[in-house]
Structure 1
């Protein structure tokens, strides 16, 4: 039990709003930002395979937001390990 009941609400808002903002930014990033090359438009429109129920496969360019998230995850993990080693914190 907490001494201040308002802390529960504040903590809930502290994780809820960043999550919602991330979901919106991630969705917009997936929809509109791609790594561009000479043949990006043709790759987005050319169908390379057909599956059941009308699902079609395309060789579309990799979304920029996904590349930034993957790179950020690796960078965060590297610095997390380095800083724990430098500060002498037991993991």
Structure 2
């Protein structure tokens, strides 16, 4: 039974490694989705159709958008505003 469990674990690990390696950097004439990034600098990159904000250490943050779509990415998302209910914090509930 123990050998069977080890064999199944190795098969699952091998399958996972094969799937991860096939999802590497993919490129075409219109897009470049390289796996590496230069994570540094900050600022806004914009054109008539696209806008993207960058932060040090985060190559993709905020949203890429145009008149027909919006793509949030990175660590910062546009979440709805929320309010902290202070009585719960102050009373320790």
Provide TM-score, normalisation by structure 1: 0.31
Higher helix share: 1
Higher strand share: 2
Higher relative contact order (CA 8 A, sep 6+): 1
Provide TM-score, normalisation by structure 2: 0.30
